[in-house]
Every structure is written in structure tokens, then in C-alpha cells.
Structure 1
Amino acid sequence: MQKNDIVKVVIEDVGVGGEGIGKVNGYTLFIKDAIIGDVVEAKVMKAKKNYGYARLMNILTPSEYRVEKPVCQVARKCGGCQIQEMKYDRQLEFKNQKVRGNLMRIGEVPEQLLDRIMEPIVGMDETEGLGGPYHYRNKAQFPIGIDKDGNIVTGFYAGRTHSIISNTNCALGVEINEQILKLILDFMKEYHISAYDEGKHQGLVRHVLIRYGFTTKEIMVCLVINGGGLPHGEVLAKRLAKIEGMTSVTLSINKEKTNVIMGNVIKPLWGQMYITDYIGNVKYQISPLSFFQVNPVQTEKLYKLALEYSGLNDVSCGNPSDKVVWDLYCGIGTISLFLAQKAGKVYGVEIVPQAIDDARNNAKINEIENAEFFVGKAEEVLPQYYEDYAKEHGGEMAHADVIVVDPPRKGCEETLLQTMVDMQPERIVYVSCDSATLARDVKFLRGNGYELERVRAVDQFPHTVHVETVVLLTKVHK
């Protein structure tokens, strides 16, 4: 196979990134935007010895799993949705198989065990009339730039680039986003406010962050700027304030030449510095820098699963008010406060100081007094706590009844996993946004006295390849 060859391919599988996989005379090709069952014409763009990458040119015979007309017209160009053209029930099957495959291949979990314990993926209800779930994101970050004609534009980056696909009406975001973005673009044009140029590190407005409270209907707008202030910012704030639900208008100062979106300094323009929203019956204050799950409908399902897996609702596991729980990578206390309603004591650990400030404040506004929070790396805080406890208690081991971890994509460091094992909790609940690192960590825990008891995927991000997973590991008593 050579670069620029035009080939006919039957798509037989889907890769972890949502790309279609097919073979031509035994040679494997990965083809973005093709789905299982498609017969396509593709152009080879990169040819390696045993496999290559090709660009979809024409769909010769569409798959039965292909959506006739995607809701978003720029879905193929945009890097936000990888599998919007796949019917939703097939998306769920793909994600479930992705989790299962990683647990078997990387985690070395026996297929027979997964057959017994893996529960059906938790899908999301469809948006009326759209043939799938849309408008579910409570947060979106829109880059601001200049198109080839010199016009200020916003939208999302094309896949694997920093080239902006102009689009103010993202099908995954809330509908009010479009009104807000058009208002900001009109303001910038009227007052000659410059857009940021990444290459030159010049221009003022870099990004627009919009958050929306699904329960409270409160709206936050934060402009990320390459400067100390926004000329005529009071005019923009006054215009935004007229939108129903507008609660917070702020500036994030980011003068660094970096791909990191948000700066660390937040300045008020109008209203509060935060919005509020609920997950279940727990209220949260959310600032521009807060980590808060982007899909509140599915997040409530995910956290209820975590609570269920913790055993704190199960009377057969003993009195929950006696239970000590550690919540590692706790963010603003989202899972911690859910668990604290049932547990005796919850300790939360998070590296971001502002997130811990938010967590403590969220405990206060919910009148939850049995949650305590520590600033620091979970990989350092828990081992240090374990070591100090033994010194202070004559060699007695620190104990936890339940440990919940919700790490970033890289998963947990082995030193942390070892400390968790040393603390001998009856249950470890692992919430993961990357089933590959989850599988790696499950392999360690299964090799050190724990067994996988329950597994369930939750579709937090419809139309993308990402999936959350929650698993329960229980201590093996010999």
C-alpha cells in the first residue's frame, strides 16, 4: 500500500478513537468518520509496514448504524464529536466493548468474570426529535480567533489542530450559548477588540468560557484575555446582564504563551464570582476554575452508582454512620458530599487549593459537618497520613472502610495504590475517565488482595469516544 492510493474498504471494526477499521488485501487501514458496516472509498494518507491511515472520500454503501443526517453540519470537521454519525445505541455498544476490552487485555480480568459482573452501560435519554442525546453540556470553552478573511470567529478546534471551525451553535452545548457568543463577537467588532493569535502571542481575547446551571438556570460567562483588562468591559457586562439567568461575568487573566486555557487570576466584571447548581439534593458553588462534571444528568447517575458501590446504603454492611471514607482527587467535593450524607466521616484530597476552598464552602452551604478536606497530591497526602498515623498511634495502622478514587486520565500512581491496599478498606470504588489506566490499576489491586465485584460504564459524553466507568473491588478474606 502506498501513500495517495485510492482504495475501496469494508469497515469491520471501530478503533478506540472512534475511527473505522478495515482491510485491503490483509493490510489494515484506520479511517476517521467511517463506521462499522460502511463500504467506503478512501485515500491513503500515511502508509506504514502493516497498517496505514486513510481519509474518507466517499461512502459507497452506508452502514445500517449510520445516522442519515447528523444534527451538527460541521461534526466531521470539528474535533469535539468523533462518532456523531453513529446511531446512539451503537455508540453505547462501542463504549461498553471498549471498557470490557481494556479490562481483559490490559487488566487481565478473565472474560468469565466480566460475563458475570459487568452491568449494562448507563445511556442517556434522547433529546426529543433529535434521535440521540444533545445539549447536555453545562460547560463549554470557545476559542476566539481570526478567519482567512480577517473576521473574528469562534467555535471549536478541528481535530488534532488549533484551526478554529466557525460554529456558534454546538449541538452538545446549551442553546443559550449561541446568543451569548454572537453578542460577544458583535461587541468585539463594534469596539475593535482584538482576537488572540496563538502563533504571534498577540491580541486580547483568547477564549470564552460559558457555564450553565441545569437546575438553577444560572449562567456564567468568563472571557480569557491576554492582558490586564477588557476595554469597554462595562458595556459588554451590561449587555450580557440582560440575558435571563445571567449571574456571573468575569475575566480570566492569561498572559502566558501556553495551550492552557484558563489563567489563575479571575477578575469580576459584573455579578457574582460563581454560579450554583445541584447534583441530586447537594448544592454546589462553581467558580470559573472549578472542576465540575459537564453532564449533570449523567453525573447524578454516576454518583448514585458510586454511592451504591460504596455499600453505605446497604444495611448488611453495618452501620454507615460508623464508616470512614477517603475520597481521593475530590475536586470541589462533588462525590465527597454525596457520600457524607451516609458515612460517619469523609476525608477528601485534591491538589488544587481553590477546589478545596470550594469543597469546604460547599460542605458549609449544605450544612455537612462530617467532611474534612486536604490540599495536596493524593499520591503524597495519603501515604504521609498513613505513615504519620502509625508514628502517633504506636504502630497502629490507619484504617478506611471505603476508599473512592476518581483520578485524572493518567490513573493512580503505584505508591498510592499500595497505600490503599495497606489501609485494608473493605471496598475500593474506582471512578475512571480512561478505561485503559483503570484496567492497569485494577490489575495491581487484583494482585494485592482485592477482587473485582461490579463494573458499569456510564455514557457521560454522547457522540464522543469518551466514557466513564465505575468499578467496585472488595477485599478478599482468606
Structure 2
Amino acid sequence: MAKTAPPVKKNEMIELTFEDITHEGAGVGKVNGYPLFVPYGLPGEKAKVKVINVKKNFGFGRLIETLHESEERVDPPCNVYYKCGGCQLQHMSYKMQLEMKRNQVKNVLKKIGHIEGIPVHETIGMEDPWRYRNKVQIPVGSRNGELITGFYRKRSHEIIEDMERCIITEEINDRMIDAVREIADRLGISAYDENNHRGILRHIMVRTGQITQETMIVIITRKEKVPELNKLVDEITKTYPEVKSIVQNINSERTNVILGKKTKLLWGNEYIYDQIGDIRFAISAKSFYQVNPLQTKKLYEKALEYANLTGSETVIDAYCGIGTISLFLAQKAKKVYGVEVVPEAISDAKANAKLNGIENAEFFVGQAEKIMPWWKAQGLNPDVIVVDPPRKGCDEIFLHAMIEMQPKRIVYVSCNPSTLARDLRILEDGGYETKEVQPVDMFPQTTHVETVCNIELKGN
């Protein structure tokens, strides 16, 4: 049987109508049934497209000119949007972004989890979907003898030098990056050169408490001893009263990983503080803390609603991190047990419980799939289990350990709809039923979507 060649050739210019959009935000058009994926194309648009890659069953194109524009197309307000790649959806109205994210969740639940006919609610968005990130880490380079800062161009390690600001990060973070770069440049502190593994200043990281407006600056250097570092610290602290902490992180490795193992307090407090709802959090240079606390509050309120606590329940929070969800749950539960594999996160969780005077939450270091069967053998029978795993989803052994424990309810918080759908299928086959699903937009202008699911034991 003769093989059918693709109906397009590389470098060919074609006219294409976009019918759909991928979960990465690329427009999808078809030529005689052959799909072409084109970044920045929107459904309903007709465009001139250059074919840039042809595979057996699909190809990729570059948008050259839009011949008929969608009403949902907007002008990206960022001056480096098409170079940067940090955001993928600024060319799309916010209304469409929220709908796209909801559809993505619905589609993967059906395709991967074979789950349909349940409510997937409209995505909870932000009133103002800009300037929401409380943390930024920016590489430092040099051009014409001067220090420059900016994100890397897409798929490269070349700094975008005309990047004036990042409009999804807090304004104060932008200002602090500029201040550190200008002072370091004046003091002659050199930029790190990754090709030759020379120079000093690798990255500048800034964290800000969204409610408290306390700021921490983390200066990431190749060597511990940095000439003029004290002068740099002195000038920042005299000029910017909102800065409460300046930390040096030493990363002497040849690596793409931003933070090194050693961290040293240069000035001020080891922690800054922030608040989500009524819970206060101490945040160190290396703490994991949600980058969008406004939306985190909405996400956790939904998780709390699905947990349906009356004050008499025992709850397990698996993958508990620094205890963010655990401490929310502890306000309404009888007892919360948090488990997490990262020892530093558990130290932070215990400190945060103490900070808030919460005594009905206990935290343990270890793998949930190993600790939970041991807990069950000790007679611990949770009423509710809350899970918030990393992007790869839950370990299958953990899912079965959870099914063995037979909690009345499971609340699954996910940052990856595909692994969520896969895991829900295992839970459904194990006697659970997905009742409703709520997408939350934690990262506006990007393709990421967070989801919280209400899951109940069948016949409960």
C-alpha cells in the first residue's frame, strides 16, 4: 500500500484557517485533514503561514500575517512578548484564556481519564490578571562592558536586553532588580560568564510579601568572597526601606540550576512574612511559597469547601510542602497530619504552625506511599485526604495506599490536568467518584492551569 505524503512541504507559504487551539496555546489548522500547529493563531482566524517543520502525521508553521482576525485577539502589552516565551497567551483576551483552560481540563478528563458528564466549573480568574507574581529570578549578563538583566530569549541563553520590565511580576520586584544591577555595575562587580565559568554575579532573585510588602533580595554569586558586596548591601538598605532581608546564595557549579547549596544572610532578617487568608507564613530564600497568593486563597477556599469539614475529622495532607493547605485545614478539622519528602519544607511547616498558634497539625518527613500504610497499621483512619502533588502527579503505589485507607472524601489539587486525569481514573476504578472539578487560573497570561477536584467514596 503506497504511503501518502503530507500535503505540505517545508518552507511552503499557505493560507490556513484555525479551527482549534492546543493546550500550549498554538492555533490548529488543517490541510486536507493534515494538522498544522501554529503559535499565536486563534480559532476562527485566517492567516498566511510558512510551513517550518513537516512530520508524518502533523506539521508546524509560523504565523506570517493574519488575514482575518478573531475578536478575541488583543495587542500584548509587554514589549518583549514575542521574544521571551515566559508568557504564551498575551495575544488572547483574558475571557478566552479562562475558557481555553476550562476546555483543556474537560478534554483531558474525557480523553485520558474517560470521565465525562460531571461539572467542570468555569475557571476562577483574577480581576486584574497582571503584576501578580511575588517572586522573580533574573539572569545577569554583560554587554559592552555594562551589566544587563533580563529573561532569556525562547530556547536560548541569550538575555533579552531591551526588556524594561516584567508585567506579570510585582512592580517592586522590577525596581529591585534594576537597583541591584545598577549599583553592582557602578561598583565593578562582574557578571557570570557561563561559557568560561568566570565572573561573579549569576542571578538576582527578589521575593515580596503581597500583603506585607516586605521584600527579600537574594544575590546569587559564583564565589563566596565578593569585593564591594558590603557597599552594595549598604546602598540598597539606605535607599529602600521596604527591603527587610538581603541574602547571598553561592552557586559555584557549572549548572543551569539557579540556587546553590550554601546560603548566607548578609543583612536583616532570615525570613520575610506574608499572609494567605488568616494564616501567616515565614518565607526564607529557599522556601517553596505560591507565587500568586491572591489566587492561592481562592484555590484553598475551594479545597476547604470540598473537604466539607465540621470539626470532628482527621485529615491527611500528602505532599504538604511548607504546610500551606494543612494550616488552612487545621482551622476546621480536629487533627491534620502533613507528610512531605523535603526535610526543609517540613521544618518550615512546623515553624509556620507555631507562628500561627496552630496545635492540631503534625508534620512528618517521608514518602506518603510508605508512611500511609504504617499509619493505617497504627489505626489511623482519615476521614479526608488532601493531595497536591508535583506535575508528574501521584505515585501509583500512593494512590492504592489512599484507596486502602478508604477516606470518605479525597480533595485532589493539581497543576497538571493530564496527570490528574490519569490519577482520577485509578481512584474511580478503586471505588471513588469524581463529583465536581474547579479550574483556577493561578498563572494568567501563561498556559498553566491549577485544578481542584471533589472526590467521594461511592455509596458513602
| 1:376 to 2:378 alignment | no
Q: Counterparts in 2 of 1:259-298, with a 5 A limit?
A: 259-298=256-295
Taking structure 1 as the reference length, the TM-score comes to: 0.91
SS, match of residue 66 in structure 2: strand
Contact 1:386 1:419 in 2 (8 A): no
Distance in 2 of aligned mates of 1:259 and 1:173 = 22
Q: Once the two structures are superposed, what CA deviation does each residue of 1:295-343 show, in whole Å capped at 9, x if it has no partner?
A: 111110000001101011xxxxxxx332111111111110000000111
Structure 1, gaps ≥5 residues long: 127-132, 313-319, 390-396
TM-align CA RMSD: 1.6
Counterpart pick for 1:73 among 76, 79, 88: 79
CA distance in 1, matches of 2:194, 2:451: 35
**Within-5 A mapping of 1:170-319:** 170-241=166-237, 242-312=239-309
Cα contact 1:168–1:182 (8 A) shared by 2 = no
* Matches of 1:467 and 1:193, distance apart in 2: 40
Confirm or deny: 8 A CA contact 1:37 1:65 kept in the other structure: no
Shift of 1:251: 0.9
Asked if structure 1 preserves the Cα contact closer than 8 Å seen for 2:184 and 2:232, the reply is: no
CA distance in 2, matches of 1:82, 1:163: 19
Q: Deviations over 1:117-165 (max 9, x none)?
A: 2222111102xxxxxx100111111111235x45422221223333322
- Out of 374, 380, 393, which is 1:398 matched to? 380
Letter in 1 for 2:270: M
Cα distance in 2, alignment partners of residues 202 and 43 from structure 1? 41
Alignment partner, residue 410 of structure 2: 428
Aligned pairs, number: 451
2:124 touches 2:439 (CA, 8 Å); kept in 1?
Answer: yes
Between the aligned partners of 1:125 and 1:475, the Cα distance in structure 2 is: 36
Instruction: Tell me the SS of whatever aligns to 1:306.
Output: helix
**Higher mean C-alpha deviation, range 21-30 or range 432-441:** 21-30
- SS of residue paired to 2:347: helix
How far apart, in 2, do the equivalents of 1:58 and 1:373 lie?
A: 56
- What is the CA–CA distance in structure 1 between the aligned matches of 2:458 and 2:275, rounded to whole Å? 37
Q: CA deviation at 1:44?
A: 1.7
Do residues 165 (structure 1) and 147 (structure 2) align?
no
Give the Cα separation in 2 of the matches to 1:261 and 1:378: 28
Q: Counterpart of 2:442 in structure 1: which amino acid?
A: Q
Say if 2:120 is the partner of 1:125.
no
C-alpha contact 1:383 1:416 (8 A) present in aligned 2: no
Give 1:168 deviation, angstroms. 4.0
1:86 paired to 2:99: no
Q: Is contact 1:168–1:181 with CA below 8 Å preserved after alignment?
A: no
Tell me the residue number matched to 1:471.
453
Q: Offset at 1:363?
A: 0.5
Gaps of 5+ in 2: 1-7
Residues 403-422 of structure 1: matches in 2 within 5 Å? 403-422=385-404
2-side partners of 1:248 and 1:383: how far apart? Answer: 42
Letter in 2 for 1:346: V
CA distance in 1, matches of 2:271, 2:389: 25
Structure 2 residue identity aligned to 1:209: M
Q: Partners in 1 of 2:96 and 2:438 — Cα distance?
A: 17
Partners of 1:244 and 1:32 lie apart in 2 by 43
The one-letter code of the counterpart of 1:356 is I
Q: Contact 1:135 / 1:171 at 8 angstroms: preserved in 2?
A: yes
Q: Aligned to 2:54, which of 30, 47, 52?
A: 47
Q: What CA distance in whole angstroms lies between the structure 2 residues aligned with 1:66 and 1:276?
A: 39
Match in the other structure for 1:130: none
Equivalent in the alignment of 1:137: 133
429, 439, 447: which one aligns with 1:447: 429
Quick one: percent identity of the two aligned structures?
47
Q: Could you tell me which of 350, 359, 375 is aligned with 1:385?
A: 375
TM-score between both structures, scaled by the size of structure 2: 0.95
Corresponding letter in the other structure for 1:123 = G
Contact preservation (8 Å) 1:168, 1:177: no
- 8 Å CA contact 1:15–1:21 kept in 2: the answer is yes
Name the residue aligned to 1:156. Answer: 151
Matched AA of 2:35: T
Partner of 1:317: none
Structure 1 position 182, deviation (Å): 1.6
Write out per-residue CA displacement over residues 70-102 of structure 1, whole angstroms, 9 at most, x where no aligned residue: 110111111210011100000000000001111
Runs ≥4 residues deviating over 4 A: none
**Mapped contact 2:336–2:360 kept (Cα < 8 A):** yes
Shift of 1:39: 2.1
CA distance in 2, matches of 1:78, 1:203: 25
- Find the residue that maps to 1:157 and give its secondary structure: coil
1:34 aligned partner, one-letter code: G
Shift of 1:407: 0.5
Aligned mate of 2:343, from 340, 348, 353: 353
